[in-house]
């Protein structure tokens, strides 16, 4: 092939659109690399191969090109491409090229896989949403850290004052005056009861502060390579024996051979949070089904495994779906703080994965924990 023609051939192969050149007799003269890829053809397939054997799923496209008698500015055609679960739509144009008026014109078919473009756009929007979520959580975390530290000092003071007051009242109870006067004794008992309430409230606040600090400054993970199946099975067995889940059904369907690099305690806490939420949503009498799937990471093509945690609860209303991973957002009213899902989201993110959710009101909720598959040697405990 002449250098000029070889350069032209290489140029066509790097174009972002699929291109097919057809001669007047209906034979394919050239098909570029993008066209082969979009149409599900092997990279080694050339025009001469298609002229000998045209795949059945491309016959509608061949017929369209053969029957065209004039330029087509913009149109669409649907094809059942291989390895695609749904019909694919190609947006195309067709031009007649007449380099020499003494020769029949060439037909140039230029196209783009609209279905794939739409998928790419959705994937990009999802990535943007994930990035926005991460940024939002990070900024809120910084603010929370400051608030939590400021709360620690007065809480410590309240706790110490309550302890000292309790000691003084206990000492007063032993004095003869208190033992001889029912009114004094009754007042002391009431005071001790109020101190007990103060202590409980301060302890609850201290737990909340610790949760806030854990959210704002996640602890360093201790990552080891473990079979995902074993991690999930162990936490499910532990939950089944927990009194809180005595009437709640938990079932694992299927198995996964994959391993993940994880902090076992932290990952088990994520599963606990998700199952407990499902249990609370069904008043402790619902059902959770856990199953697995695998896919390729759209960013780098690496293998990833997803653990699906699906319940039969009341579902989540669309109006609040975008908020469920936000700190302090809860649908449990006074019974929830709203940090469980936020911490779980950040924990999975620390593992290099993604926690996502699908839900339809009154049709249940499905949380998906997607983690990269680990190819490292197995860690033996």
- The answer, yes or no, to whether residue 4 has pLDDT greater than 80, is no
In a domain? residue 352: yes
Q: Give the confidence band of 3 by pLDDT, cuts at 50, 70, 90.
A: low
What lies within 8 Å, CB to CB, of 228 at 6+ separation is 256, 258, 259, 260, 292, 305, 307, 371
Same domain flag for 235 and 358: yes
Same domain flag for 253 and 351: yes
Same domain flag for 229 and 368: yes
- The answer, yes or no, to whether residue 332 has pLDDT greater than 70, is no
Q: Give the confidence band of 375 by pLDDT, cuts at 50, 70, 90.
A: confident
Same domain flag for 144 and 64: no
Q: Tell me the C-alpha distance between 227 and 262, whole Å.
A: 10
- The answer, yes or no, to whether residue 24 has pLDDT greater than 70, is yes
CATH number of the domain residue 257 falls in:
3.30.565.10
In a domain? residue 381: no
- The answer, yes or no, to whether residue 176 has pLDDT greater than 80, is yes
Q: Which of 313, 314, 310, 315 is nearest to 254 (CA)?
A: 310
Residue for token pair 């998928």:
119
Backbone angles phi, psi at 357, to 5 degrees: -145, 145
In a domain? residue 139: yes
In a domain? residue 378: no
Number of domains in the chain: 3
- The answer, yes or no, to whether residue 5 has pLDDT greater than 60, is no
Flag the least confident range among 213-217, 290-294, 353-357.
Answer: 213-217
CB 264 within 8 A of CB 235: no
Same domain flag for 229 and 347: yes
In a domain? residue 377: no
**pLDDT tens column, 37-90:** 888 888 888 888 888 888 888 888 888 888 888 888 888 888 888 877 778 888
Same domain flag for 144 and 95: no
The token pair at 209 is 């502060």
C-alpha of 231 from chain center? 19
CB 266 within 8 A of CB 221: yes
**pLDDT tens column, 262-299:** 999 889 989 988 998 888 888 888 999 999 999 998 88
Q: What are 141-150's contacts with CB under 8 Å, separation 24+?
A: 141/215, 141/216, 141/217, 141/327, 141/346, 142/216, 144/212, 144/215, 144/216, 144/327, 145/212, 145/213, 145/216, 145/217, 147/212, 148/209, 148/212, 148/213, 148/216, 149/213
Using a 10 angstrom Cβ sphere, with 0-12 exposed, 13-18 middle and 19 or more buried, the burial of residue 288 is: buried
Flag the least confident range among 95-99, 130-134, 169-173, 275-279.
Answer: 130-134
In DSSP terms, which residues pair with 247 in a beta bridge? Answer: none
Same domain flag for 246 and 183: no
In a domain? residue 379: no
pLDDT of residue 196: 87
Same domain flag for 48 and 99: yes
In a domain? residue 358: yes
pLDDT of residue 145: 64
CATH number of the domain residue 28 falls in:
3.30.450.20
Q: Tell me the C-alpha distance between 334 and 353, whole Å.
A: 31
Same domain flag for 23 and 132: no
In a domain? residue 71: yes
Domain boundary among 117, 132, 151: 117
**pLDDT tens column, 105-131:** 888 888 888 777 777 677 667 666 666
Domain boundary among 117, 133, 165: 117
pLDDT of residue 322: 78
Radius of gyration over alpha carbons of the chain, in Å? 33
Domain boundary among 216, 233, 265: 216
* % of the chain residues with pLDDT over 90: 17
Backbone angles phi, psi at 59, to 5 degrees: -60, -40
Q: Which of 193, 189, 161 is nearest to 173 (CA)?
A: 189
CB 269 within 8 A of CB 332: no
Same domain flag for 356 and 247: yes
Same domain flag for 287 and 348: yes
Using a 10 angstrom Cβ sphere, with 0-12 exposed, 13-18 middle and 19 or more buried, the burial of residue 198 is: middle
pLDDT of residue 253: 94
Q: Tell me the C-alpha distance between 224 and 218, whole Å.
A: 18
Q: How many residues are listed for the chain in this entry?
A: 381
Same domain flag for 9 and 20: yes
Domain encompassing residue 243? 224-372
């Amino acid at each position: 092939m002449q250098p000029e023609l070889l350069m032209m051939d290489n140029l066509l192969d790097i174009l972002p659109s699929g291109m097919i050149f057809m001669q007047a007799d209906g034979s394919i003269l050239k098909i570029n690399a993008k066209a082969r890829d979009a149409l599900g053809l092997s990279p080694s397939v050339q025009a001469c191969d298609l002229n000998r054997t045209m795949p059945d799923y491309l016959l509608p496209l061949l017929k369209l090109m053969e029957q065209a008698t004039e330029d087509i500015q913009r149109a669409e055609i649907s094809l059942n491409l291989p390895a695609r679960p749904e019909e694919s739509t190609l947006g195309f144009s067709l031009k007649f090229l007449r380099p020499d008026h003494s020769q029949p014109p060439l037909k140039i078919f230029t196209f783009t896989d609209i279905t794939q473009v739409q998928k790419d756009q959705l994937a990009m929007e999802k990535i943007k949403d994930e990035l926005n979520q991460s940024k939002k959580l990070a900024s809120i975390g910084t603010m929370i850290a400051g608030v939590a530290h400021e709360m620690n000092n007065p809480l410590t003071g309240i706790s110490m004052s309550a302890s000292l007051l309790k000691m003084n009242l206990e000492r007063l109870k032993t004095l003869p005056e208190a033992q001889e006067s029912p009114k004094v004794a009754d007042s002391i008992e009431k005071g001790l009861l109020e101190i007990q309430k103060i202590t409980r409230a301060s302890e609850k606040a201290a737990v909340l502060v610790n949760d806030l600090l854990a959210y704002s400054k996640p602890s360093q993970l201790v990552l080891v390579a473990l079979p995902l199946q074993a991690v999930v099975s162990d936490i499910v067995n532990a939950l089944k024996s927990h009194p809180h889940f005595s009437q709640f059904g938990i079932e694992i369907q299927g198995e996964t051979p994959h391993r993940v690099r994880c902090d076992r305690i932290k990952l088990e806490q994520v599963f606990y949070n998700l199952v407990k939420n499902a249990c609370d949503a069904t008043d402790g009498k619902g059902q959770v089904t856990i199953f697995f799937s695998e896919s390729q990471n759209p960013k780098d093509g690496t293998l990833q495994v997803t653990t699906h945690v699906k319940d039969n609860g009341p579902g989540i209303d669309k109006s609040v779906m975008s908020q469920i991973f936000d700190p302090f957002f809860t649908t449990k009213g006074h019974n929830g703080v709203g940090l469980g899902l936020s911490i779980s989201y950040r924990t999975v993110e620390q593992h290099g994965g993604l926690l996502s959710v699908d839900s339809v009101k009154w049709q249940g909720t499905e949380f998906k924990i997607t983690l990269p598959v680990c190819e490292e040697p197995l860690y033996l405990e």
